[in-house]
Chain A
Amino acid sequence: MNLLETINLKKYFGETHAVDDVSLSIAEREFVSLVGPNGAGKTTLVNVISALVSSDSGKILFKGDDITHTSVTERVEAGIARSFQIVNLFDDLTTFDNVTLAIFSRQGKTGNPATLAHLDHEVSAEADAVLGQFNLTSKRNERVRDLAQGERKLLDVALAYALKPKLLFLDEPTSGVSTRDKGQIMDTIASVVRGEGITAVIIEHDMDVVFKYSDRIVVMQQGAILAQGTPDAIRNNDQVAMILLGTSGPDAFTRKD
């Protein structure tokens, strides 16, 4: 059974068809990349599925249930988590506090005003484990605003991961970081996601990253799905190469000139 299914999903902003009749299925444990030129509607599609913006029409099914009209928190509780293109963290809290918040929330403990958070050793241990998985242990007690961009990106994903989601959306997790850090960040994310069997949908512009880590690639253009398939199929799709690179041919994605 598909974990997520969108049926004829639409989101228009005036004349702009940001998401235009998108029907997409994501299977459990898949690692799917969403690619396309700027303005193709990738982020809007994720925003609609995660309830940051509402859809105009169409349906969203998650584990077979219709979640089209549920709130953000209901979707989080159902098992959908996301990171953000522009890092979205609690800048004045420490790295550790950021992660513990996610764990407290998942465990339904954030409504408790009567116990000291730092005395919950179970949560602290789990938070430390998450920080370890994302190579952020050395930054445990630093305020998030003082972290480097790459570390902030990782923490953004770590927060979503700490919710133990079934489906994780990662919106450009390597944007704004150096090429050297990009590989490290993606290796870390991929190992955590694959290791835990989480279904992941990643929005990414770097096609090397996309080809290396994806099970399937979905190409969007002007709000609609243009093509989808395995990395090899997309690599050899001239129409996709033309749209993404402005060139085509058998080695369009590997040529460096």
Chain B
Amino acid sequence: MKNNASRTGPSTLLILACAIPIVIVLVALPKFVDTYQTQLLTYGLVYAIAGLGFNLLLGYTGLLSFGHSAYFGLGAYSAAFMVRYFGVGSMEIYILGGLLITGLVTAAFGYVSVRHTRIFFGILTLALSQVLWTLAYKFFWVTGGTDGLRVPFANLTLLGGLIDFKGRDAYQAFTQNYYYYVLFLFCICTILMWVIVHSPFGKALQAIRDNETRAQFLGIRIRRYRWFAFQLSGSFTGLAGILWVPLNGLVTPDILYWPFSGEIVFMTVLGGFRTFTGPIVGAVVFNYLKIYAVASTAYWQMLLGVVLVALVLALPTGIVGTLSRLFGKFRKR
């Protein structure tokens, strides 16, 4: 009997065979590249976590959210509030507190949003995210308004205080250590998401995506499962926001604004939302594209737009989807 090759890409063994060398390269990379490149890659990994979370909704549940900036921003602002109002420096407390807050808001927003599908779902998620953006923008005495809130790395500690960033070469130390911290959490998130999408729950989400009526006639509680998927998706994206804020050093309402939701959508589509690894690749590639476009021209948005449209037209199944197809053809020969 031949191996089960699902439409989501190559087999588990093949993924593992590719993943282990990639992880080894990622672990070794900071030894060979400069601080700036390490930092760029850290951003890429953070966005990849957001993309993984987002794709649980888009790729596996068939729901296109235009409001994931809300959960990313919530994570970021939660950490920033802990710094500003409670003087917290522990990354682990940021994560716990941030996930709690993001989880609560995601549960409420999700409860409202999953009552609808298609464009109505998209518009609802967009509208809800803009509520948060408005709050961050207008309640400036709490949020700092457009000036934002600072989260300096100098006050940060990792692993319950084992690692801090004081003294000489603090910035280099932060960049290196934080990269490994993010890489570790990225690996954990990837494994977690892998288990989720290959679990009975993940299969049920795919069933809901492919044929809602039949899923219902198998006894699957559609709305409840969509809600659960929404919460998981928002929490992953919230975690990405929490990890992003010490790296960026500042959080402003821009991170809650709808164009950032669009960027999350774009990363995922660019990599291939029909594949598990697509959002990861898409996030890293998009991050580099954006950084280099910004550095090259004042019209970077236009340049980025043209490049992205060309990529989508040339690679409609995304980078990973196209590579998988080519690999499949090569194997058949």
> Can you list, as one digit per residue, whether each of A99-118 has a CB less than 8 Å from chain B (1) or not (0)?
01110111001111111111
Q: B204's contact among A110, A115, A120, by CB below 8 Å, is which?
A: A110
Among B111-119, B132-140, B217-225, the one that faces the other chain is B217-225
- B170-223 interface with A by 8 A CB criterion: 195-196, 198-204, 206-207, 210-211, 213-221
B31 interface contact, C-beta 8 A: no
- Measured CA separation A97–B3 after assembly (Å): 13
A50 interface contact, C-beta 8 A: yes
The answer to whether A117 and B202 have CB atoms under 8 Å apart is yes
B1 interface contact, C-beta 8 A: yes
- Measured CA separation A94–B229 after assembly (Å): 22
Chain B residue at smallest Cβ distance from A156: B214
Which chain B residues lie closer than 8 Å to A163 at the CB level?
A: 218-219
Known: A89-B214, A92-B7, A141-B5. A116 touches B204 (CB 8 A): no
| Number of B residues with CB within 8 Å of any CB on chain A | 32
Chain A residue at smallest Cβ distance from B216: A72
Which chain A residues lie closer than 8 Å to B196 at the CB level?
A: 113-114
Which chain A residues lie closer than 8 Å to B297 at the CB level?
A: none
Which chain A residues lie closer than 8 Å to B221 at the CB level?
A: 73
Which chain A residues lie closer than 8 Å to B232 at the CB level?
A: 113
The answer to whether A110 and B4 have CB atoms under 8 Å apart is no
B296 interface contact, C-beta 8 A: no
Q: B4's contact among A88, A91, A94, by CB below 8 Å, is which?
A: A94
Q: A50's contact among B3, B5, B204, B217, by CB below 8 Å, is which?
A: B217
The answer to whether A105 and B219 have CB atoms under 8 Å apart is yes
Number of A-B contacts (CB under 8 A): 112
- B150-175 interface with A by 8 A CB criterion: none
- Measured CA separation A73–B219 after assembly (Å): 4
Q: B218's contact among A96, A97, A101, A113, by CB below 8 Å, is which?
A: A101
The answer to whether B203 and A100 have CB atoms under 8 Å apart is yes
Which chain A residues lie closer than 8 Å to B225 at the CB level?
A: 110-111
Which chain B residues lie closer than 8 Å to A81 at the CB level?
A: 217
Which chain B residues lie closer than 8 Å to A91 at the CB level?
A: 210-211
A206 interface contact, C-beta 8 A: no
Q: How far is the CB of A140 from chain B (nearest CB, A)?
A: 7
A7 interface contact, C-beta 8 A: no
Q: How far is the CB of A105 from chain B (nearest CB, A)?
A: 5
Q: How far is the CB of A107 from chain B (nearest CB, A)?
A: 9
Q: B200's contact among A77, A115, A140, A141, by CB below 8 Å, is which?
A: A115
- Measured CA separation A84–B217 after assembly (Å): 10
- Measured CA separation A230–B211 after assembly (Å): 37
A93 interface contact, C-beta 8 A: yes
Which chain A residues lie closer than 8 Å to B213 at the CB level?
A: 52, 88
The answer to whether B1 and A89 have CB atoms under 8 Å apart is no
- Measured CA separation A89–B218 after assembly (Å): 11
- Measured CA separation A35–B38 after assembly (Å): 71
- Measured CA separation A109–B225 after assembly (Å): 12
Which chain A residues lie closer than 8 Å to B211 at the CB level?
A: 88-91
Which chain B residues lie closer than 8 Å to A34 at the CB level?
A: none
- A69-90 interface with B by 8 A CB criterion: 72-73, 76-77, 81-82, 84, 88-90
The answer to whether A113 and B201 have CB atoms under 8 Å apart is yes
Q: A104's contact among B204, B206, B216, by CB below 8 Å, is which?
A: B204
- Measured CA separation A97–B218 after assembly (Å): 13
A17 interface contact, C-beta 8 A: no
- Measured CA separation A225–B332 after assembly (Å): 57
Q: B198's contact among A72, A76, A90, A118, by CB below 8 Å, is which?
A: A118
The answer to whether A76 and B218 have CB atoms under 8 Å apart is yes
Q: B203's contact among A84, A88, A104, by CB below 8 Å, is which?
A: A104
A63 interface contact, C-beta 8 A: no
A159 interface contact, C-beta 8 A: yes
> Can you list, as one digit per residue, whether each of B1-12 has a CB less than 8 Å from chain A (1) or not (0)?
111111100000
A182 interface contact, C-beta 8 A: no
Known: A141-B1, A141-B4. A104 touches B200 (CB 8 A): yes
The answer to whether A110 and B214 have CB atoms under 8 Å apart is no
- Measured CA separation A57–B210 after assembly (Å): 33
Which chain B residues lie closer than 8 Å to A141 at the CB level?
A: 1-5
- Measured CA separation A140–B4 after assembly (Å): 9
The answer to whether B206 and A115 have CB atoms under 8 Å apart is no
A-B contact pairs, 8 of them (CB 8 A): A72-B217, A93-B203, A101-B207, A104-B204, A105-B204, A110-B200, A111-B225, A113-B202
List 15 extra interface pairs beyond A93-B6, A111-B228, A113-B196, CB under 8 A.
A73-B216, A73-B219, A88-B214, A90-B214, A90-B215, A92-B7, A93-B206, A93-B207, A105-B204, A105-B219, A113-B199, A115-B199, A117-B198, A141-B1, A163-B218
Chain B positions near chain A (C-beta within 8 angstroms)? 1-7, 195-196, 198-204, 206-207, 210-211, 213-221, 225, 228, 232
Chain A positions near chain B (C-beta within 8 angstroms)? 50, 52, 72-73, 76-77, 81-82, 84, 88-94, 96-97, 100-102, 104-106, 109-118, 120, 140-141, 143, 159-160, 163
